[in-house]
Amino acid sequence: MKFVDEARIKVIAGDGGNGCMSFRREKYVPRGGPDGGDGGIGGSVFLIGDGNINTLVDFRHIRTYTAERGSNGASANCTGRGGEDKLIAVPVGTVAYDRDTGEQVADVVSDGQRILVATGGRHGLGNTRFKSSTNRAPRKTTHGTPGERRDLTLELKLLADVGLLGYPNAGKSSLIRKVSAAKPRVADYPFTTLHPNLGVVSIEAHRSFVMADIPGLIEGASEGQGLGIRFLRHLARTGLLLHIIDLAPFDEHDPGKGAELLLAELEKFGAGLNDKPRWLVFNKMDLMAEEEWQEKVQQTLDYLQWEGPWYGVSAVDGRGTGQLCSDIMHYLENRDPAENDYLLHDNSDKDLFSNLPTAGTNVDHDDFDEENLNDPE
Ligand SMILES: Nc1nc2c(ncn2[C@@H]2O[C@H](COP(=O)(O)OP(=O)(O)OP(=O)(O)O)[C@@H](O)[C@H]2O)c(=O)[nH]1
Ligand SMILES: [Mg+2]
């Protein structure tokens, strides 16, 4: 399965139908008067949220979406038929921008939500409309107006409550595997994860949150190093970032300095990511003796002058993860939603995520299409 999170499309609403010019012609009815009907209105184009879709890949094949034109009016005062609307199914979490103005035209946040993106043209008037006491045989009609046309950029921003952040190989995918039903690939080399994965973390019946695992970040990601920072957009709507830190990283970088560099990348990305609440999660606790572990954690905390929450876990044997997840749940349930522009999913959304294929599948490296990383054009 390919994961594509950006696409460009053109949407064209239908033109309005033209008004008709006609006069009543009937036996024994001399000078029957005007009877030209109005045209029909043009069809509009809508985006509609669909919880069963989780990628914008289909938009690579079909780029133009056209709604139907309204029919012209006809004689005997027949109004033309309205053009049929065009509905474009998009994943929940899709944001659409007008490419010419940069304006955001749609933000699809729920299944079945319908948002107008191009308005159909108005109908033309038939000559009946122009009848008056002084002009009983008007020869005037108007044309329908053109339907709106727009070039749109679609961006998918996954809707998750919590986002995982960290260097490649820190154990992000291992953690989501441990605490949710999602089974992304885990391997002992960097850049195992090539696209985001979502997992639903159930704390107990009716209490759950959605966690997003994204590809690892490295220094210079904002300049395109590694897989770059484009996947960071999937963290833009999360309420909490978990910064996963490996105290014995494969390239032996200093964990504190590494964390600092990563934060600088967040800052460069913008979108308020560096202001989001962030907790440190020291992973791979099982690899070290207790004392060594304590010492390394302390060194890193001191280096970062960290005063926020932090946790020690092992994504392999699971220690610490239960506490972490229940604290996250507690945090999400108790913060003031008005202060934040992200979405906390109530349990009614759970079904939506439970059928997301991302929660159990991953691309194989062999299947992976390099092109996915680039601009779709
Ligand atoms: N011993 C131990 N190994 C771990 C732990 N967590 C992850 N690993 C190992 O670390 C390696 C990387 O784990 P991943 O979960 O793929 O790391 P990631 O952060 O998702 O990496 P990318 O997808 O490349 O960014 C794998 O070999 C894991 O088995 C842990 O808690 N303890
Ligand atoms: Mg991974």
Looking at the structure, tell me whether residues 194 and 244 fall in a common domain.
yes
Whether residues 319 and 337 fall in one domain = yes
Chain-centre distance for alpha carbon 44: 22
Residue 315 Cα: closest atom of ligand 1? 31
Query: Of the residues 180, 186, 242, which should be mutated to test ligand 1's pocket, given the most ligand atoms within 8 Å of the CB?
Result: 186
> Does one domain contain both 69 and 141?
yes
Asked if residue 91 has its Cβ within 6 Å of ligand 1, the reply is: no
CA distance 364 to 22: 65
Mutate which of 174, 243, 317, 321 for ligand 1? The one with the most ligand atoms within 8 Å of its CB, which is 174
Ligand nearest to the CA of 244: 1
> Domain containing 33 — which CATH number?
2.70.210.12
Q: What is the number of alpha carbons within 13 Å of residue 309 lying toward its C-beta? A: 14
* In a shared domain, residues 191 and 241: yes
pLDDT at residue 67, as a whole number: 97
**283 and 136, same structural domain?**
no
Query: What domain range is 287 assigned to?
Result: 162-373
135 & 193 share domain: no
Say whether both 3 and 85 belong to one domain.
yes
Whether 173 lines ligand 1, by a CB cut-off of 6 Å, is yes
Buried b / exposed e over 349-371, threshold 16 CB at 10 Å, is bbebbeebebbebbbeeeeeeee
Of the residues 131, 156, 181, the one at which a domain ends: 156
Regarding whether 215 and 86 lie in a shared domain, the answer is no
Q: Which residues surround ligand 2, an ion (CB under 5 A)?
A: 173, 192-193
- Total number of domains constituting the chain: 2
pLDDT at 355: 37
Conformation bin of residue 41: beta by default, left when phi > 0, alpha when psi is -120 to 50: beta
For the Cβ of 79 lying below 6 angstroms from any atom of ligand 1, the answer is no
Q: How far is the CA of 152 from the centre of ligand 1 (A)?
A: 38
The response to whether residue 283 sits with its C-beta less than 6 Å from ligand 1 reads yes
Phi, psi of 291 (to 5 degrees): -65, -45
> What's residue 337's pLDDT?
58
Q: At what angle do helices 290-304 and 255-269 cross, to 10 degrees?
A: 40
52 with 114, same domain?
Answer: yes
**Which of 156, 175, 207 marks a domain boundary?**
156
Residue 181 Cα to ligand 2 middle (Å) = 15
Of the residues 121, 156, 191, the one at which a domain ends? 156
Q: What is the pLDDT of residue 249?
A: 84
Could you say which DSSP state residue 133 is in? S
According to DSSP, residue 262 is labeled H
Residues 333, 193 share a domain: yes
- What CA–CA distance (Å, rounded) separates 109 from 124? 36
Determine the pLDDT at residue 253. Answer: 83
Say yes or no: 191 and 334 in one domain. yes
Ligand 1 near 363 CB (within 6 A):
no
302 C-alpha vs ligand 1 centroid, how far in Å?
A: 25
Residue 363: CATH number of its domain: 3.40.50.300
Cβ-proximal residues to 113 (8 Å cutoff; 6+ apart), any chain:
48, 49, 92
Instruction: Looking at the structure, tell me whether residues 151 and 128 fall in a common domain.
Output: yes
- Mean pLDDT, each 10-residue run in order, the chain (377 residues): 79 96 83 90 96 83 93 93 95 92 92 95 95 89 96 88 90 91 82 82 81 83 74 84 90 86 85 87 91 91 92 92 92 71 40 36 34 36
Q: Residue 113, exposed/middle/buried by CB under 10 A (0-12, 13-18, 19+)? A: middle
Q: Which two tokens stand for residue 75?
A: 């004689």
In this prediction, residue 351 carries a pLDDT of: 39
